[in-house]
Amino acid sequence: MYGIPNCDTIKKARKWLDENNIEYEFHDFRKDGVNPIQVRAWLDELGWETLLNKRSTTWRQLPGETKENMNDVLAIVVIEEQPTIIKRPVLETSNKRLVGFSEKNYSEALL
């Protein structure tokens, strides 16, 4: 699981995983940074529209030109500079990635 520990959505997702006895490792974007190769794989699979949190303060603070011209290549640059723009959590399983938290999606993917 990737995210930042003080995020409410991360807390909900971690609680759900713990309650369902599902083991996971947590990667803190702020403390541990992001791997550009991994981000590229996420973007290839999910697209920037799914991966970037357009409701975040980080997104709102981007220059208008950056938001208007956003694409997968520009998203990598923005994510490397400001990893908190990634919608949280990103949960990697052996065969898929889940972005955001939904009990239904987690149940379908993990139980």
Closest alpha carbon to 25 in 53, 5, 50: 5
Active site residue 7: yes
Going along 1-111, which residue ranges are E strands?
A: 2-3, 27-28, 90-92, 97-99
Q: How many of the other CB atoms lie within 10 Å of CB of 93?
A: 12
User: What CA–CA distance (Å, rounded) separates 86 from 19?
Assistant: 25
Considering 7, 74, 76, 110, which one is annotated as catalytic? 7
Catalytic residues: 7
